[in-house]
Chain A
Amino acid sequence: MSDTTTNTTPEDDPHSAAVPAESHLHDAPAIDPDKAPDKVAIASQWQLTWWAFKRHRLAVFALWIIGLLYLVSIFAEFVAPDDPTKQNRRAVYHPPQMIHLIDRTDEGIRIRPYVWKMDRQRDPASLAVSYVKSEEKIYLTLFGRGADYKFWGLWETDRHLFATQDPREKFFIFGADRLGRDMFSRILYGTRISMSIGLVGVAISLVLGITLGGLSGYYGGRVDAVIQRMIEFVLSLPTIPIWLALAASLPPDWPIYQQYFVITLIVSLVGWTELGRVVRGRFLAMKNDDFVIAARLDGASEGRIIFRHMLPSLSSHIIASLTLAIPLMILAETGLSFLGLGLQPPAISWGVLLKEAQNIISISQAPWLFIPGGFVVVAVLAFNFLGDGMRDAADPYGH
């Protein structure tokens, strides 16, 4: 409904949680002046984009963080020291342990990672359990043996990136939850689900957004009007109540992969409108560009014009909008699961983990249950910075 009056272009439309393109580290010209001019002249568009992107240091840093998070989620079984579903009655609400690297013993100083063992104590009067640091050290080792698992479902092994030297000992970098499960391992498995929901959701949005936005912008006229009304309609629905209603209609006894797929679909309903608007705006602007007219006069088919000529020149913009859509989806999944309407345990996602922190009594007893929230914030920030940098770099010929 709003586009009858606004004079805003699709780029400065603030419908997403994304931040405007303007950014601190991007005041200098987009292309590195150190580069020899002839090198700039023959560089491909992607090369220019990459150079422009590299100048945005915060975005490069964010790219590293995101890469690390995805790497960890691919190898979650291997990186996690413990089985995330393994309950441990002797470690209920076990506090986090710091890993110390420098080991001072009577024999001298060595570099050898260890944690201080915590002794469990029960208050004789109140029967409350508390953990007290003992003088005993638990040594850690790289590629040690731990819980058995099937690596990517392919082969069985018990090697982990790091584990206790004595497989009977346990350690909890991020503490343990109310069932004594290792929070660190759970967060790693949660990273896998939460981060991949963003990717899969974005893939769905991509298909919807490009198809509808492209149709709208390319054909214009009545098609455009209908699709625009549709986008406005979707935008004007209050997202969270609608998600709640959709999610409430899921039977809770569905298998995890089915829940995962449907939640991803629900969540991706947010992302595509924004992308649709960006693609439409670009298509409208580009429709009468010389190269498109040239292709048309050459007798190229419409499909060829769209896919061969128009979409490639949009790809960097599309990637930037996609990157900015991922954090919205991560937040959506987290919120839904937190309310108990998204993924259900035993599935593990950041939202499912945060649900444990819903209860004020448990968080005052175990504030480390907030740690998954930290991961959400870091991931969302990183995607925002990355998307920001990409959007600035997306048009390397500008500036």
Chain B
Amino acid sequence: MIWRYILKRIIWMIPFMFAVSVVAFLLIQAPPGDYLTTYIAKLGESNELLDQASIDNLRARFGLDQPLYVQYFKWVANLLQGDFGMSFEWRQPVSDLVWERMGLTLCLSFATLLFTWAVAFPIGVYSAVHKYSIGDYIATTIGFIGLATPNFLLALILMYIGVVHFGTDVGGLFSPEYQNAPWSAAKVWNLIEHLWLPVIVLGTSATASLIRIMRANLLDELNKPYVDTARAKGLSEFALIMKYPVRVALNPFISTIGWVLPNLVSGAVVTAIVLSLPTAGPLMLQALLSQDMYLAGAFVLLLSSLTVIGMLISDILLVLLDPRVRYE
């Protein structure tokens, strides 16, 4: 039964991803002109001029002279074979450029998700159980401020504190000596050492809303008769709360992966630009600005798939964890 449900959901993803690919393609096609116009303008700045023949030549080589739908189908056909096309700007296959950055993006998002849960879960439970205590008020206040502060502002403030008070530049994910080094245990450790700042920056707002959700859910549960019953039967307070109401309250908590993951992936774009992280965001922005369409399209597509996969995972987890959720 469960397998059929999962299979159905995965099959559902096919038309979905198709729609996503159309949107991604239209988006990267939306800017007036194409990569060549940007390129020619750039050449013009350095006083190099191209004659019309070589422009036409280049346009044909990049396939930019064909009608839109032909370009789209070529793109999708290649995508299905794992070929993302060539980046105009880098003169390299897109897949060489995106995977490491997507990997780091995923790594960052996942670390942030873990951080968010690790922080939000205990605080949310505490806030609900000790309603209106000082700790609850502090958590609520910090939560609200976390919710209202844009990621990039938080990143800037932390960078400011780092530079002014500690004299270190906290941007980036690696120390300079590891930047271009091949992967090694030392490099991974270096990554972990640098990861905490973007994790905090990215995780704050999600943590804040998760705390609120956990608190509200648990408060609803705590008033139910079964809690009184368990208490009357002499269960210790800790075991009682952890065993029954928390498990029920956890349900919406799980379904949040569906939107926390996409939010993290989205939010990571802006934060990465501010903190100059080698993740998807900065390269995508650059590709969008220079109309390097296959590179930009690959990022839009991959980031969208992450979102869709996040939703899928949360729905499957929900079905697995909560017998009340029925799958049709």
Contacts and interface: CB of A to CB of B under 8 A. Distances in A.
Q: Do A and B bind each other?
A: yes
Interface string A222-238: 00000000000101111
A238 B318 contact: no
B20 A237 contact: yes
Contact of A14 (B220, B256, B285): B256
A248 B327 contact: no
B190 interface: no
Contacts of B150: 331, 334-335, 338, 373, 376
A168 interface: no
Contact of A240 (B209, B212, B270): B270
A19 B215 CA distance: 11
B163 A14 contact: no
A240 B267 contact: yes
B303 interface: yes
B300 interface: yes
A338 B273 CA distance: 11
B318 A1 contact: no
Contacts of B220: 22
Given A363-B160, A364-B164, A370-B156, A241 B266 contact: yes
Contact of B311 (A2, A22, A241): A2
B160 A364 contact: yes
Nearest to B270: A335
A380 B285 contact: no
Nearest to B289: A248
Interface stretch (B23-31, B61-69, B87-95): B23-31
Contacts of A244: 269, 284-285, 288
A363 B156 contact: yes
Interface residues of B, number: 79
A377 B149 contact: yes
A338 B269 CA distance: 13
Contact of B304 (A236, A370, A373): A236
A251 B32 contact: yes
A6 B315 contact: yes
Contact of B215 (A1, A5, A12, A22): A22
B88 to A, nearest CB: 15
Interface string B2-46: 000100010011001001100100011011100000000000000
Given A19-B147, A238-B265, A248 B288 contact: yes
Contacts of B312: 1
B129 interface: no
Given A1-B312, A6-B255, A338-B152, A233 B160 contact: no
A67 interface: no
Interface string B55-73: 0000000000000000000
B233 interface: no
A239 B144 CA distance: 22
A360 B160 CA distance: 7
A354 B153 contact: yes
Contacts of A338: 150, 152, 270
Given A14-B213, A384-B148, A246 B153 contact: no
Nearest to B328: A4
B145 interface: yes
B284 to A, nearest CB: 6
A364 B163 CA distance: 8
B76 interface: no
Contacts of A21: 216
A12 B132 CA distance: 22
B104 interface: no
B304 A5 contact: no
Nearest to A373: B153
B299 interface: yes
Nearest to A361: B163
Contacts of A294: none
Contacts of B16: 1, 233, 236
Contacts of B217: 20
Contacts of A239: 262, 266
Interface in B184-203: none
Residue with the highest number of chain A CB atoms closer than 10 Å, among B9, B32, B285: B285
B112 interface: no
Contacts of A358: 156, 274
A5 B325 contact: yes
Given A1-B12, A2-B314, A354-B153, A240 B269 contact: yes
Interface in B231-284: 252, 255-256, 258-259, 262, 265-267, 269-270, 273-274, 284
Contacts of A248: 31, 285, 288-289
B157 interface: yes
Given A19-B147, A24-B132, A363-B160, A241 B153 contact: no
B23 A237 contact: yes
Contacts of B169: 360
Interface string A16-35: 01011110100000000000
Contact of B262 (A6, A236, A327): A236
A306 interface: no
Nearest to A237: B304
B216 A20 contact: yes
B148 A327 contact: yes
Interface string B68-90: 00000000000000000000000
Contacts of B5: 5
Contacts of A360: 159-160, 163, 169
A248 B169 CA distance: 29
Nearest to A239: B266
A335 B273 CA distance: 11
B296 A245 contact: yes
B213 A245 contact: no
A99 to B, nearest CB: 26
Interface of A: 1-2, 4-8, 12, 14-15, 17, 19-22, 24, 233, 235-242, 244-246, 248-249, 251, 327, 331, 334-335, 338-339, 354, 357-358, 360, 363-364, 367, 370, 373, 376-378, 380-381, 384-385
Given A237-B307, A370-B156, A377-B153, 6 more contacts: A2-B314, A22-B215, A24-B140, A242-B300, A335-B270, A339-B273
11 contacts: A17-B147, A19-B143, A19-B212, A20-B213, A22-B220, A248-B31, A338-B270, A354-B153, A364-B163, A364-B164, A376-B148
Instruction: Return the 7 tightest CB-CB contacts between A and B, nearest first.
Output: A20-B216, A240-B266, A249-B30, A380-B148, A249-B31, A245-B27, A248-B288
